[in-house]
Amino acid sequence: MTGSLLTVTAGALTGAACKGLGDVLLRRLLRKRGRAYTEGRGEKLLLFALMAAFGGAIAFLVPFSPEMIFYYLVLTVCEAVSVMDAHTRLIPNDLVLALMGLALLFGLPGCFGLPGWFHWRPMGALAGMLGCMLIFALPAAFSGKIGAGDVKLAAAMGFCMGLSGSLLAVVLMGICVLVFALAQNKVPMLQLLTASIPMGPFLALSMLTVLLGGRLPTVAALLEELPL
């Protein structure tokens, strides 16, 4: 019990440290675009709490291995995506490519049977990338309420998670967006489908939740039964 508590505490501190790393990344990206990095106190505290919670969950669910490092790096990129999109409605290509690069870097060794690396299937990655791109590109083409950055981020998510995991994340994202929009009390139900809402934070949150959920035996067994 004590060991588990120490592990979760260390993971929570690591997750909080990833918030600091994400802030450095954000400042660099915004500086390239001539913008300043601003974050309210309440937002900062909320993000630190979320990063610590995800960090503790990673430490609890993932043994110390290269895969654990992968999860913390993805957590950092997802935090940067969320803040960037919420504040500027932009999702830089740098962050999209970072997610895909992390999947390749930490997934390819596992494809050759090396233990302790991220479980990644190349064919599933391609199917997930194309599937998520279509799911987001079609509404973007007809409504204009989904930006190109959202489409590219969804494609990167599919590349990281494969088709089955990313589709589950898309469903979860839809539920989160619906709850958020209704909770805002500013978006009438009939206008919900045409409302302009930043998708980056919800995609990032859903991606992290499904990735970590895949570490649970029941969810892992379900995803393993699916071909992609």
Domain ranges of the chain: 2-225
The average confidence (pLDDT) of the chain is 82
- pLDDT above 90 as % of the chain: 25
Mean pLDDT for 44-66 is 90
> Could you read off the pLDDT of 136-156 as tens digits, one per residue?
877 666 555 566 778 888 899
Q: How far apart are CA 125 and CA 157, in angstroms?
A: 9
The larger pLDDT score, comparing residue 80 to residue 120, is at: 80
Q: State the SS3 of the chain.
A: CHHHHHHHHHHHHHHHHHHHHHHHHHHHHHHHCCCCCCCCHHHHHHHHHHHHHHHHHHHHHCCCCHHHHHHHHHHHHHHHHHHHHHHHCCCCHHHHHHHHHHHHHHHHHHHCCCCCCCCCCHHHHHHHHHHHHHHHHHHHHHHCCCCHHHHHHHHHHHHHHHHHHHHHHHHHHHHHHHHHHHHHCCCCHHHHHHCCCCCHHHHHHHHHHHHHHCCCHHHHHHHHHCCC
The confidence score (pLDDT) of residue 194 equals 47
> Could you read off the pLDDT of 89-127 as tens digits, one per residue?
888 888 999 999 999 999 888 888 788 888 888 888 899
């009390």: which residue's tokens? 185
* CA distances from residue 196 to 51, 88, 181, 213 in whole angstroms, order as listed: 26, 13, 10, 29
Whole-prediction pTM value? 0.86
- pLDDT above 70 as % of the chain: 82
pLDDT band at 43 (very low <50, low <70, confident <90, very high): confident
The confidence score (pLDDT) of residue 78 equals 92
Q: How far apart are CA 211 and CA 55, in angstroms?
A: 13
The confidence score (pLDDT) of residue 104 equals 92
> Could you read off the pLDDT of 168-215 as tens digits, one per residue?
888 888 888 777 777 666 555 444 444 567 778 889 999 999 888 877
The confidence score (pLDDT) of residue 105 equals 92
The confidence score (pLDDT) of residue 29 equals 85
Q: Is the pLDDT of residue 225 over 60?
A: no
Contact between residue 110 and residue 124 where contact means Cβ atoms under 8 Å apart:
no
The confidence score (pLDDT) of residue 170 equals 87
The confidence score (pLDDT) of residue 69 equals 94
